[in-house]
Amino acid sequence: MRRVLAALSVAACLAVAAPAFATADAMPGEWSAFAGCPVDAPSMLAADGVSVIAACLGGGAPNGTITLGSTTMSVGAVRLQFGALNQSGAYSLVQPSAGGLSGDPITVPGGLLGLMCPSDIPLISQICDAVVGSPLNKVTATLEPAGPATDFDLSAAVGTGRPIMTLPVKIHLQNPFLDNGCYIGSNSDPMTLKVANQTRPAAKFGRFDADGTPNPAGEMNYTDLSGATVADTTFAVPAARGCGLFGLIDSVVNARQGLPSASGENSLTLSSTGFRLGGFANPRAYAPNQGAELATRWHTAAG
């Protein structure tokens, strides 16, 4: 389970970061980082461009590592997509309907054998024996949002040492012997990630036309911050729940993996991270319908 956590917790923080790798072919040109932007959310459409400015936030990271005790693991790519509402310099995030965070499923090293075997409980031992040398041993772990992301701080993303945003996440464990509701963390008891830059990112600014074509005089613009190393040492890891056999598998997994794990016992470090914030170069020019105009440009680019 520590290995599972390793794989997925890292993913969570990765999400705080760079252009959306997995959605790069879903929108043309410079729109590619904002393919999942919830431009049709009521709060986005209501932005007037003066008191409230609507923009898109796209992020992700290709890899990272997490250490839990003596275990260090690599993780796969994750993606971040939100709407961003700027009110007097303070940002609030707008979640897409499916949640703003997604991650690639990760194969858990050791599989089911690593999660709960060996065991002196006869029923668990029978499962352990059944999966030895079998494809049934494979366990995948997928990072999922466990609530809305909050506390986005653009100035923290530019600097170092302060949390960039708060991301509540949970980890879905899947295997034929596990119930479908097997999770580490939940909406009511999530892993709460607060990643902060350890090194300063490289900043890049650009403008583009409404169709996504780069253009120094285009009506759209973006701010891109990438390449920073980020870390979090504050998150706690909840117990696994809903894994099956009336809680028996939960107790075996948690006992073997030392869950729950308190804050201070877990850490993660992510490299090559970043994020991109984009919208109108001059949002006031589109008042009082700036949010609706942003949605129109997005949908036109999407075809």
Look at residue 174 in the predicted model and tell me its pLDDT: 96
Q: Please give the Cα distance from 261 to 6 (Å, whole number).
A: 12
* Cα 179 versus chain centre, distance: 24
* Cα 10 versus chain centre, distance: 9
How many Cα atoms sit within 13 Å of 240 on the Cβ side?
Answer: 32
Three-point CA angle 202, 24, 150, nearest 5°:
65
Tokens representing residue 251 in the block: 């107790």
Note whether 196 and 161 are within 8 A (CB). Answer: yes
Picking from 62, 73, 64, the residue whose alpha carbon sits closest to that of residue 2 is 73
Tell me 22's DSSP state: G
Give the H/E segment covering residue 110. Answer: none
Whole-number Cα distances in Å, 131 to 134, 170, 175, 184: 5, 26, 11, 22
Query: pTM for this one?
Result: 0.84
Q: Please give the Cα distance from 303 to 296 (Å, whole number).
A: 11
For residue 126, the enclosing domain spans 2-302
Could you read off the pLDDT tens digit of each residue along the chain, which spans 303 residues?
Answer: 333 333 333 333 333 333 333 333 489 999 999 999 999 999 999 999 999 999 999 988 777 776 654 455 666 677 889 999 999 989 999 999 888 888 788 888 899 999 999 999 999 999 999 999 999 999 998 888 999 999 999 999 999 999 999 999 898 999 999 999 999 999 999 999 998 999 999 999 999 999 999 999 999 999 999 998 888 999 998 999 999 999 999 999 999 888 898 898 887 777 788 789 999 999 999 999 999 999 999 999 998
Look at residue 66 in the predicted model and tell me its pLDDT: 66
Tokens representing residue 277 in the block: 């914030």
Per the omega criterion (within 30 degrees of 0), is the bond before 176 cis? no
Residue corresponding to tokens 């253009």: 215
Tokens representing residue 181 in the block: 């509701």
Residue corresponding to tokens 């499923």: 105
Look at residue 157 in the predicted model and tell me its pLDDT: 92
Look at residue 22 in the predicted model and tell me its pLDDT: 31
Tokens representing residue 161 in the block: 């040492």
Domain count, the chain: 1
Q: Please give the Cα distance from 279 to 69 (Å, whole number).
A: 42
Work out the end-to-end distance of the chain between its first and last CA atoms, rounded to an integer number of angstroms.
Answer: 44
Residue corresponding to tokens 């003596």: 70
